[in-house]
Amino acid sequence: MEIKPFTAVLPTDAGLTKLTTNNSSWTSADTHVQPGTSYYWYELTQNGIHQWRLIASWPEQVSVTTMLPGGINTVLYPKHPVIEMLIDDWVGHFPKAYEFTDEYNVTHRLWQITEAEVNADITEAMAEITPRKTWLTTTSTPLVMLVADSEWTKFKTQPRVPDHLIQKINA
């Protein structure tokens, strides 16, 4: 899989309040640019069930026609021990970018992976992975969510990912 870290635009405290209440009236004061290029671990929790996702930059020329478009597109991959180890070993090591619970009672947590060595390890580990299933629109996308297929099956109905959760800065 061809992925890489990226510079992200994340919600400010005011933006988090809007995400919590599903308020779509966003302004420039609701977002800020994170320093450096990073991957992001993303955890969704609903009714005590946790699901992990990796948010990465995706080659913009890559697009696939499918039946399930989404805000941040999703790629399923077979469970991979190196990625599982990276999550287990590193997620608590990095600062939590934010945590909030939305109007649907889904808790969203996002961690920024700030060490270049760990980002390089993720890029290397994911390069060998063949996606199992992709849900991408026919238009190119700058960001993708990578989810182990065993993680994806945890929810019968996937929780909604807020539109303004994370964006790639246009550089």
Does 141 fall in a domain? no
| 3-state DSSP helix/strand/coil % of the chain, to nearest 5 | 25, 35, 45
Q: Count structural domains, the chain.
A: 1
pLDDT score recorded for residue 137:
61
Does 104 fall in a domain? yes
Does 73 fall in a domain? no
Does 64 fall in a domain? no
**Residue 1: closest CA among 84, 80, 77:** 77
Kind and range of the H or E run holding 139: none
Does 154 fall in a domain? yes
**How do residues 53-108 score in pLDDT, each as one tens digit?**
999 998 877 654 444 545 678 888 888 887 777 777 777 788 889 999 999 999 99
**How do residues 30-46 score in pLDDT, each as one tens digit?**
999 998 999 999 999 99
Residue 92's domain comprises: 8-57+82-131+148-168
Does 86 fall in a domain? yes
